[in-house]
Chain A
Amino acid sequence: MPMEAGEIKRMIVEALPDADVMIEDLRGDGDHYNARVISAAFKGKSRVQQHQIVYQALKGNMGGQLHALALQTSAPPET
């Protein structure tokens, strides 16, 4: 059963309360999403580590229920 965009966003924000999350359903089939996540938790982390943080937030759904989630992660710009 594919995941809803809102549920993906909720899970990410639950793990990263400061996160700014934009989800795009690429094919309208609930199985291919693009997610842009901005959070201070990514500061100083490699891309792999940043994506792993998001995958952990999705509690094992990534690669299982959620087949394809294109990810762009970044820390907020220095203010």
Chain B
Amino acid sequence: MSDNPVFARIRQDITENPVVLYMKGTPIFPQCGFSSTVVQILSRVGVKFKGIDILTDPSLREGIKSFSDWPTIPQLYVQGEFVGGCDIVREMFESGELQTLLSEKGLVAA
């Protein structure tokens, strides 16, 4: 992976925080329906997460898309791994896969 300076920052964030959501807005004030949907899902599952608002940082907004080779925001990371955007997180929540993933990693009670 090229050494885009933003990548180092992203790697640090997703390493230091078990669950990271790159989103538009903040968990308290999401600025986009898709970001808001993922925030609600994470709250319902009861997992602590760090919300990172890409609207405040254009280089991060573009950098995160090439980092994960994923063209849209929001993006959810669990223990440094890209899990998906709104569709995938919702699908995983509805099938119970998200809860299983998080409990297997000890991030939520089983």
Contacts and interface: CB of A to CB of B under 8 A. Distances in A.
B70 A48 contact: yes
A48 B88 contact: yes
Interface of A: 47-48, 51-52, 55, 60, 62-64, 68, 70-72
Given A48-B82, A68-B34, A63 B72 contact: yes
Given A48-B83, A51-B88, A63-B72, 14 more contacts: A47-B84, A47-B88, A48-B82, A51-B84, A51-B85, A51-B87, A52-B69, A52-B70, A55-B70, A55-B71, A60-B71, A62-B72, A64-B71, A70-B86
Given A48-B82, A68-B34, A63 B87 contact: no
A62 B85 CA distance: 13
Nearest to A34: B87
Interface residues of B, number: 15
Contacts of A68: 34
Interface in B22-46: 34
Contact of B71 (A47, A48, A63, A72): A63
A70 B87 contact: yes
Contacts of B65: 63
Contacts of B70: 48, 51-52, 55
Contact of B91 (A47, A55, A60, A63): A47
Contacts of B91: 47, 72
